[in-house]
């Protein structure tokens, strides 16, 4: 297996305005995506965050240390060209949302889920006019079609950059509701992640924590926080 990795060739990194947004310069060259598309971002704040990642690189480039740049690349190369499909994929979580599937026992877990998730479902109805209902057990039961249509509309309004980050918020938490709550500032990213892990936290309290599972959970948590930051930086209204 080759140990080859791209090496740093630039000295100065900076974010600058361009014709249709903001971009990142490495000396006199502009950054390009893996698909060789122009690296044009919607806000200066996001461009500066990406520039900081490039500036922090050592002799060899480490993409794993560049979460803002990776998500921007995904938005440009992938999400932009299949926006509708990605939005539909995420909207579908509303019909099987984590916050709606509740345990029937033990009583303490039932109460913990209700205390954490019921206010989110109330907030969803107040904010989006979409009422989705909790179920007991793991068998799928369809949600109200009108509610799902309203949630689908909310997801489709996101531009490719915010949708790319929203994808990670939904897929990592397993919840469209929790992702929407982060988007609107109803939950902090840290609180949102904790609310998405109620079942796992319960299991840890009962049986202890597996070291490998804990490491995997920590990586997912950081990816969730990175996605929340990207969303905020890409949002013109932030």
The alpha carbon dihedral of 171, 176, 177, 179 has a sign of: positive
Half-sphere exposure of 135 (CA within 13 A, CB side): 14
Q: Residues 62-113: pLDDT tens digits?
A: 989 999 999 999 999 999 999 999 999 999 999 999 999 999 999 999 999 9
pLDDT in the model for residue 148: 98
Q: What is the pTM of this model?
A: 0.94
How far is the C-alpha of 139 from the C-alpha of 137, rounded, in Å? 6
Is pLDDT at 140 greater than 70 in this prediction?
Answer: yes
The tens digit of pLDDT for each residue in 29-69 reads: 999 999 999 999 999 999 999 999 999 999 898 989 999 99
Pairing of strands 101-102, 29-30: unpaired
> Does the bond joining 152 to the residue before it have cis omega, within 30 degrees of 0?
no
- Residue-level pLDDT at 209: 85
Q: Is the pLDDT of residue 4 over 50?
A: no
Which CATH number describes the domain made up of 82-234? 1.10.3580.10
Q: Is the pLDDT of residue 190 over 50?
A: yes
- Where helices occur in the chain by DSSP H, the ranges are 44-55, 67-74, 83-91, 107-128, 145-156, 160-173, 176-183, 189-196, 198-207, 211-234
Helix, strand or coil, per DSSP, at residue 10: coil
Q: Calculate the average pLDDT of the chain.
A: 94
What is the C-alpha end-to-end distance of the chain, expressed in Å?
A: 45
Domain ranges of the chain: 82-234
């Amino acid at each position: 297996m080759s140990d080859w990795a791209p090496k740093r060739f630039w000295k100065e990194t900076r974010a600058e305005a361009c014709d249709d947004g903001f971009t990142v310069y490495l000396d006199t060259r502009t950054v390009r995506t893996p698909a060789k598309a122009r690296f044009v971002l919607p806000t200066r704040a996001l461009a500066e965050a990406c520039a900081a990642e490039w500036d922090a690189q050592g002799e060899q480039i480490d993409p794993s240390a560049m979460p803002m740049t990776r998500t921007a690349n995904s938005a440009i190369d992938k999400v932009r060209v299949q926006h509708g499909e990605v939005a539909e994929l995420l909207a579908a979580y509303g019909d099987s949302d984590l916050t709606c599937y509740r345990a029937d026992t033990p009583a303490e877990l039932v109460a913990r889920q209700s205390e954490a998730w019921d206010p989110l479902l109330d907030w969803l109805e107040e904010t989006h006019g979409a009422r989705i209902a909790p179920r007991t057990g793991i068998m799928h039961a369809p949600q109200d079609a009108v509610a799902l249509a309203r949630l689908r509309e909310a997801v489709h309004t996101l531009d490719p950059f915010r949708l790319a980050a929203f994808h990670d918020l939904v897929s990592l938490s397993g919840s469209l509701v929790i992702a929407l709550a982060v988007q609107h500032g109803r939950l902090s990213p840290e609180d949102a992640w904790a609310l998405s892990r109620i079942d796992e936290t319960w299991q840890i309290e009962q049986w202890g924590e597996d070291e490998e599972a804990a490491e995997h959970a920590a990586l997912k948590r950081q990816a969730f926080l990175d996605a929340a930051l990207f969303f905020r930086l890409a949002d013109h209204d932030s």
